[in-house]
Structure formats: C-alpha cells, structure tokens
Amino acid sequence: MIRAASVGLGWWGKTLANSIQNSEKINVVMATTKTLNNIEDYCKEINAEIATSYDEVVKSDKVDAVILATPHSKHVEQIVQAVNNGKHVFCEKPITLTAADAKIAFDEAKKNNKILAVGFNRRFHPNFMKIIEMVKSNTLGKIVHIEGTINAPGLWMYKPESWRSSSAETPAGGMTGMGIHVIDQMISANGNISSAYAQTAKVIKMGELDEVTSVLFKFANGATGYLGTSIASSVLYNFRVIAENGAIEITSRDLSVMKYTPREGDIEITEVKDVDMCKNELEAFADAVNGHADYPVTAEQGIHGAEVFEAVIKSAEKETLIKI
C-alpha cells in the first residue's frame, strides 16, 4: 500500500483523496494545505494526519508519495523538494507553466529514481483507451484530424480570492484547467504537435481570465487538430479522431458514450458507465511506484505537453503561429 500525503485540499484535492479511500493500492495518510483549520474535520473523516507544512510532509518517514493539487506556479519547486527527499510525486496538470520547468521536474525525478506522474485522468477511461488501441492496431488507418471541446462554468465557480482566478496561474482561461487534457489526449493518440495558432476572447468580461480559447494545431506527421475551451459556459466535452478508415468520437461529458463511424459499415456505439478516472490514474501511479507497470504518461509526453501549452499561451498573446 502506497502511503500518500495530499497537498492542497481544495475541491479537486478532496476529489482525488476521496477517490482512493477504499483503494487497496494507495491511500491518503497525511495532508496539509494553506489554511489548516479548514481541513480538520475532513482529515478526521479520511483518517489522515495533518501536517503543519509541506516541509514536514516531504521529510516524514510515514509517507511514500505526495499528491499535489496546488497552484501551478508552485509545482516545480514542490516536485524538486519532494523527489530530493525520497518521495514519489503525483502532480495535477499542468505539471508546470513552462516547458523548461517541466524538464527540470522530470530530470530531478529521474536523477532521484522517483516516479513523477501527471494527472491526466481522461487517459484512464476505457473508451479513450479503446481509441488508443484502435490507433495502435491501425484499425483507423492514418489519422487526418483530431478535435476536442472542453468547457465548464469556471467563470462563476472560481472565487475572486482563489488562485485559480488569477491570470498568472490560469493563462488562456480554460486552457490551463481543461484544454491541457485534450492536448494530452491528442499527443497520446497522434504523437508530437509541431505548431499552434491560438486566439482568446473575453465576451462576458467578468474577472481577469480569458473566457474562451480556440487553437489550430499541426502535428509532426502532417495531421491537423482543433481545440476549443471555455470557462463561460456549461460543462461540455467531446473528443474525436478522424482517420482514413472512419471517425471515432467520445460524445458525453463523463466519457461514457463512444461512437465509431466506419467509412463502410454500420455505426457502433459503446457505453461504459460509472468509471472513476481519478481512482484509476492514482492506482496506475501506485503500480508505477511499485514497479508493476509504467505510468502511461511518459516524461517525454509530459514535457512536450508543457511545450504545446506554452506555445498556445504565446500564440494567443502575440496573435501569431508558434512553431514547437
């Protein structure tokens, strides 16, 4: 059993901790956050010890790994401190706000022989895993285009005093908290991305965050891509791969419904419900720590994803195509 410390117990930190309460592979045994008195009751519920600081967490012999759900700008420093103190790290996306920092993080983990896992939970839904299986088996043939949309009402969910409401922590609006998931799925399905052209907009004009971001991509293998993300709408998610032998798409916000439309033949619809993607990714992290399997998001993919993320932000700022 991997003994984990949860660092940052906001709504998403608690979501991660809750997902593994009954896991036989990993549990939260310690926790710390910015305001300690806000987590006393919750830590009693999950039977976790409260640490007074991050330094106490990484130096504790009661902890094997840390789960970071903290402000993005703090990730690289926290990762380096953890792996240099003998702790494995599961870090929520984006791993860092720059590709240079992502490389530092992964290099330090490798140097210390520690697992560094990025939290891209959509990789761990059976429907998406089926898409990857079809890509690898060449069932779909050559991919010509990939596109995805991912929205949520963050404009109304984020409290003004929250770090998530800061444009420094959440550049390009929905890209930081959501769009980066689709970037990772694109990389997983079709390899490296070679260029990005992005634009952002503020239509409602509430707060300092960009409300909508749209991006055109070009892949290294010649395929194209499109990503749209907004924090000013209802929850919406879809992901589709368009290839020479047909198109396959996930059409529901919980990823439960997948539709395959072959170039010839009948449409196939698959439904897989009640999947806990957070539990799946954290147990995959535990398997990697125990040496049972590699974590699906490789260091190379994690660093490249950070490169693409950074390129999107630069492209939106400069209103120009950015080569990656």
Q: What band does 36 get if pLDDT is binned at 50, 70 and 90?
A: confident
What's the rounded mean pLDDT across residues 283-302?
98
Instruction: Inform me whether the pLDDT recorded for 35 exceeds 90.
Output: no
Domains in the chain, CATH or no CATH each? 2-120 (3.40.50.720), 122-323 (3.30.360.10)
pTM for this one?
Answer: 0.96
Report percent pLDDT > 90 for the chain: 97
| Distance between CA atoms of residues 63 and 177, nearest Å | 28
Residue-wise pLDDT tens digits, 152-183: 999 999 988 899 999 999 999 999 999 999 99
Q: Residue 116 burial by CB count (10 A; 0-12/13-18/19+): exposed, middle or buried?
A: buried
Report residue 179 as tokens: 């769009």
CA dist 229 and 301 (Å) reads 21
Mean pLDDT calculated for residue range 212-218 = 98
C-alpha dihedral (141, 127, 238, 302), degrees to nearest 10: -80
Q: Give the integer Cα–Cα distance in Å for 289 and 23.
A: 15
Residue 241 in this model has a pLDDT that exceeds 90: yes
pLDDT at 34 over 90: no
Q: Report which residue type is found at 45.
A: E
C-beta of residue 137 within 8 angstroms of C-beta of residue 248: no
Q: How confident is the model at residue 72 (pLDDT cuts 50, 70, 90)?
A: very high
> Who's near 166: CB < 8 A, 6+ residues apart?
208
Confidence at residue 38, expressed as pLDDT on a 0 to 100 scale: 83
Distance CA(223)–CA(187), nearest Å, equals: 12
Which amino acid, 158? Answer: Y
Question: Which pLDDT score is estimated for 188?
Answer: 98
* pLDDT exceeds cutoff 90 at 100: yes
- Strand intervals (E) in 161-319: 193-201, 212-219, 224-230, 236-243, 246-250, 257-262, 268-271
Neighbours of 86 (CB within 10 A): 15
Average pLDDT over residues 86-104: 97
In whole angstroms, what is the distance from residue 278 CA to residue 304 CA? Answer: 22
Average pLDDT, the chain: 97
Amino acid at 265: G
Share of the chain above pLDDT 70, in %: 100
**Residue length of the chain:** 324
Structure tokens at 38: 């806000």
The predicted pLDDT at position 89 comes to 98
DSSP assignment, residue 51?
P
Bridge partners of 271, per DSSP, are: 257
